[in-house]
Every structure is written in structure tokens, then in C-alpha cells.
Amino acid sequence: MSSIFTKIIQREIPAHIVYEDEMTLAFLDIRPVSEGHLLVVPKLEVDELQDLEPDMYQAVMTTVHKMARLLKEKLNPKRVGLVVYGFDVPHAHVHLIPMEGPGKIQLQHTEKVTEAELISTHQVLTS
């Protein structure tokens, strides 16, 4: 059975996609830790990041780099945290989390944000 991320990649489930190339996809998390929280996924469904072939792993990290720079430019956080957590969805992914202060990154997701909030953040990141 396809993961929810594969369904997003195949456009079976809607998402606020911020970036896409041949090998990766970046989209807004619907339960963000902070505004602009993105997920970067390989288009190939592989459970764990370290199990990706080197070229796919590099493609994911290249997209992570691009998206971290985009978040910094558009939202101006003090830092952009990166987390590879991966227990919720059996599809390799990297969280990019804009952060305003020191402390631990804890994936204590907020409640699901509204469509209007996702649209607003999506517009900021894609303008």
C-alpha cells in the first residue's frame, strides 16, 4: 500500500507543494511545529533515509539545502532546524523547521492548521 507521501507525489491527496524536481518533493506539513515547517521527500518510496541509493540521498539533501535557504530568505527565522524522525510515515523524509530561539527541536505538532493558514504560508514561500 502506498504511503501518504506517495499519494501526495501522485497527486491523489492535495498538498501545498513548495518545490518539485525529478527526484524530490517539498511541501508544507499540515500539522506544523512552526510556520513554514516543510517536509522534503524522495519520489521513490523507501522507508528510511539511509536506505536510499546515494544519488537519491544526494537529491534529497540538495532539496533540503534549497528549501532551508528559501525558508531563511522568505520567513527570516533565526535558524532552520533539520530533523529526520520518520516513525509516523514509512517513507523517508526530512523536516525543515523554522526556529526563533535555542532549545530542543521537539516534534510536538500543532493541531492541524486551517487551509487559509496553509495557503498564506504557501504564497509567502512561492512568491
Residues annotated as part of the active site: 93
Asked if residues 63 and 21 have their Cβ atoms less than 8 Å apart, the reply is: yes
3-state secondary structure at position 98: strand
Of the CA atoms within 13 Å of residue 18, those in its CB half-sphere come to 30
- Burial class, 54, CB count within 10 angstroms (exposed 0-12 / middle 13-18 / buried 19+): exposed
Q: Return the C-alpha cell found at 43.
A: 519520489
